[in-house]
Amino acid sequence: MSRLLRLQLFHRPSDILSFQHSDVIMGFRQPSEAMNMLQMEMSNRSSLDQLYINIRWLKEWKRSSIAHLGGGVFQYSTLWLVLSGGATLKFGQTVCQLGKNDIISLPSQTYHKWIWVSSDTPFHYLSLACEAKVGSFDLVRLYSFPLHKTLHDDAAFAKLVELWYRMSADFHELLSHFEPHEIQSNEYKGPKPSEYPVFRFNTQQSVQYLKIRSLGNLWFHYLFESLQDQLPDSPDLYDTRVYDVCAYINEHLHERPTLEQLAELVSLSKEHLRFLFQKELGLAPLKFAASMRLQRAREMLLLSTYPMKEIAQRLGFQDQHHFTRSFHQAEGLSPSAYRRKFKYSVETPVGSVSVVREEM
């Protein structure tokens, strides 16, 4: 039995220090030196110990129109696999033309705007939204995933697609073990962006859920391999304060926090917060809040039956008139006209599975 293996069998520091080899304790001349090395080894844990990946939804889309889509912000880290067709979108300040075998990697709080989709061949893509973090850092942002990459290795792309479908099937299998009333409706229910459903898992459900978590980790492993030639040698820590403010805005749209209040949250001056927002997102803080408010309004108009007055109240507009004026200025239609025009023409995913309110 090796010395290292024997060391692992001991339980207390005193046991470890009592293990002697000739006149040397564990190869060190002093017990304190051995203890210091042991403590350093125990505390030197990789930051990846804090890695977690929670899949929030998977959707398969075939889009042939963008009339009702506009723009918005993805709440979660979102990954797309483009299967066919073409589209042009603006992500942050970057315009991308998308086509077959493209991988799109969007960190949480990424602003996007649809510009064009092919009409002859529907824009067919798979989307996956998740909380992918290392501690408080967004995994996609931390490792500087390329926003847009065409994967020329067909086999590698096919592997990602095949595993996506496996995850989707297993997600459906998991949800089939719950009664309908146990699964949260996707209809918007309040000022907060989403409330996670609370499930009480039995053993069978737990086994299925662990399988999904494992597949999610494996999918990200394949994704890392596919993008590795464009990733940095080591993760690049970034300032999380902008994204802390984004999360606060998402949860307090009905309160309309001021720039001063947002700056105080992260102990910054108004000017510095505005500078960081412009640098990271290409938007000023209050413009980001306005964009989120309008995005939520579009969702509520199309996915709920709330009257205009209630939507205005839930999103922090002064009154219904203020809501109507702001919405018309942004969309070119009044809220009621927007609902009439697009309520029954909203494209639905070819396949969809979700445990939270879905984003469009």
Between these two residues, 71 and 281, which has the higher pLDDT value? 281
Tokens representing residue 3 in the block? 């010395």
In this predicted model, what pLDDT tens digit does every residue of 226-274 receive, in sequence order?
Answer: 999 999 888 877 888 988 898 899 889 888 899 999 999 999 999 999 9
Model confidence, pTM:
0.69
pLDDT band per the 50, 70, 90 thresholds, residue 160: very high
Q: DSSP states of 195-258 as a string? A: --------HHHHHHHHHHHHHHHHHHHHHHHHHGGGS-SS------HHHHHHHHHHH-GGG---
The predicted-structure confidence for 7-51, as pLDDT tens digits, reads as follows 222 233 333 333 333 333 333 334 455 445 444 443 444 466 788
pLDDT of residue 292: 86
Three-state SS for 56? strand
Band of the pLDDT at 350, cuts 50, 70, 90?
low
Residue 252 CA to residue 189 CA, distance in Å, equals: 14
> Roughly what angle, to the nearest 10 degrees, separates helices 241-251 and 285-303?
40
CATH architecture of 241-342: Orthogonal Bundle (1.10)
Give the tokens for residue 156. 């590698």
First-to-final CA distance of the chain: 59
Cα 303 from chain centre: 21
| Mean pLDDT of the residues in the chain | 77
Give per-residue burial for 23-43: e unless 16+ CB within 10 Å, then b: eebbeeeeeeebbeebeeeee
Q: What mean pLDDT is predicted for residues 193-200?
A: 46
If you average pLDDT over residues 283-303, what whole number do you get?
Answer: 86
195 within 8 A of 184, measured Cβ to Cβ: yes
The pair of three-digit structure tokens given for residue 77, joined into one six-digit string: 């880290």
Every domain of the chain with CATH number 1.10.10.60 lies at 241-342
What average pLDDT score do residues 333-351 get? 72
Q: Which has the minimum average pLDDT: 144-148, 165-169, 294-298?
A: 294-298
CA angle 121, 333, 304 (to 5 degrees): 75
Is the pLDDT reported for residue 326 higher than 50?
Answer: yes
Model confidence pLDDT, tens digit, residues 312-325: 999 989 899 999 99
H or E element in which residue 89 lies? strand 87-91
CA distance 43 to 24: 24
Answer with the residue of higher pLDDT: 176 or 180. Answer: 176
CATH for the 49-234 domain, from 2.60.120.10, 3.40.50.10310, 3.40.50.1860, 3.40.50.300? 2.60.120.10
Over pLDDT 70: what percentage of the chain? 74
Residue spans in the chain of domains classed CATH 2.60.120.10: 49-234
pLDDT for 341: 78
Pair of tokens at residue 268: 């910054």
